[in-house]
Amino acid sequence: MRIGVAGVGRIGTMHATNLAALDQVDEVLLFDPVPGRAAQASAGLPGTKSVDDLAELLTACDGVLLATPTTTHPALLREAVAAGVPTLCEKPIASDLDEMKALVEEVEKSGVEVLVGFQRRFDPAVAELHRRVRAGEVGDIYLVRAIGNDANPPDFSYLPHSGGIFRDLLIHDLDAVPWLVGQPVVEVYASGSVLVDRAFAEADDVDNAVVLLKFAGGAHATLAGGRHDPLGYDHRIEVLGSKDSLAAGLDPRTPLTSLEPDGPRAHDPYPGFPERFHRAYLNEMAVFADVVAGRVANPSPARESLISLQLAEACEKSRRSGAPVRIDAGPRLPGGPAVPPKAGQSNTEVTA
């Protein structure tokens, strides 16, 4: 099997390295729109070879991974789908909800498998949490708590193009939490502050935010995210139910110090998300190769990625208005949350 990687920045290079280590992958082909960049990356990565253009990449590979800037995703994904090549696209597949809805419809009509790179779905602990919730081992869900903190703020030049804290930092939780709960979100409330650096305010953004989600069954989820944690990168999800309370992301490297005599102490905290989700990224590539080979079902289809972007837009609307935003839950996914309506249809309403 030959897998192509379009875009050899930090994420693309990491994915290429992980793909090259898989027994089922014979060769990894690299392409980057910047001349010479793919050849330079290939020289340092055994098991890879560079190609000169996207058309050559799509012709030669059995599956392709898109790790280019977000603004290029729709056009590249359309080319990959037109070529009939199974694709894993880094999130989001489009930055605008209406454009994403139209793109999802095109993908589904084509019949080509498209996975969206929400790596937390591939994290072993999060996947086990999902399995236990679906198996009824947690019982009725009462509350979900998610925390996501960067160790250090992103480069300030990135902020004007990031899409804001809900589309950038918290988008992963806005995907993972509804996926875990398996119910549509019916109301969103969000609030944010600038506490780390005024550069966030200058970019019309916030650096700390809290989100409250209400699900159709009455359960709630609280999501908190921040751009600076002095101890290290932190991401945890807790699910509290009528039968059990479970957590993913709580281990000796969690950057949290307990003041109880026998409580945990942070040891060698994670410096960033690549380290925290190392196993998730390895598993993501292995699952993608299995999807390409037709051995497993797509665990992160394009249509489900509409949910997180819809919720991110509702969060931003709520933060700016100071009021909750009602979500008109669209048709429900089999065994999962509701899907936003098609392009041009509205499904959010600010409520006093």
All domains of the chain, ordered by start, with CATH? 2-117 (3.40.50.720), 124-276+303-350 (3.30.360.10)
Three-class SS string for the chain?
A: CEEEEECCCHHHHHHHHHHHCCCCCCEEEEECCCCCHHHHHHHCCCCEEECCCHHHHHHHCCEEEECCCHHHHHHHHHHHHHCCCCEEEECCCCCCHHHHHHHHHHHHHHCCCEEEECHHHHCHHHHHHHHHHHCCCCCCEEEEEEEEECCCCCCHHHHHHCCCCCCCCCHHHHHHHHHHHCCCEEEEEEEEECCCCHHHHHCCCCCEEEEEEEECCCCEEEEEEECCCCCCCEEEEEEEECCCEEEECCCCCCCCCCCCCCCCCCCCCCCCHHHHCHHHHHHHHHHHHHHHCCCCCCCCEHHHHHHHHHHHHHHHHHHHHCCCEEECCCCECCCCCECCCCCCCCCEEECC
Q: Does residue 203 carry a pLDDT above 90?
A: yes
Q: What is the mean pLDDT of residues 225-229?
A: 98
| pLDDT for position 329 | 64
- The per-residue pLDDT for range 245-291, each reduced to its tens digit, is 999 999 999 999 999 999 888 889 999 999 999 999 999 999 999 99
41 with 50: CB under 8 angstroms? Answer: yes
Q: Does residue 331 carry a pLDDT above 80?
A: no
Q: Residue 227: which of 273, 266, 275, 195 has the closest Cα?
A: 195
Confidence of residue 95 (pLDDT cuts 50, 70, 90): confident
| pLDDT for position 346 | 43
| pLDDT for position 73 | 95
Q: What is the mean pLDDT of residues 328-344?
A: 53
Confidence of residue 192 (pLDDT cuts 50, 70, 90): very high
| pLDDT for position 343 | 44
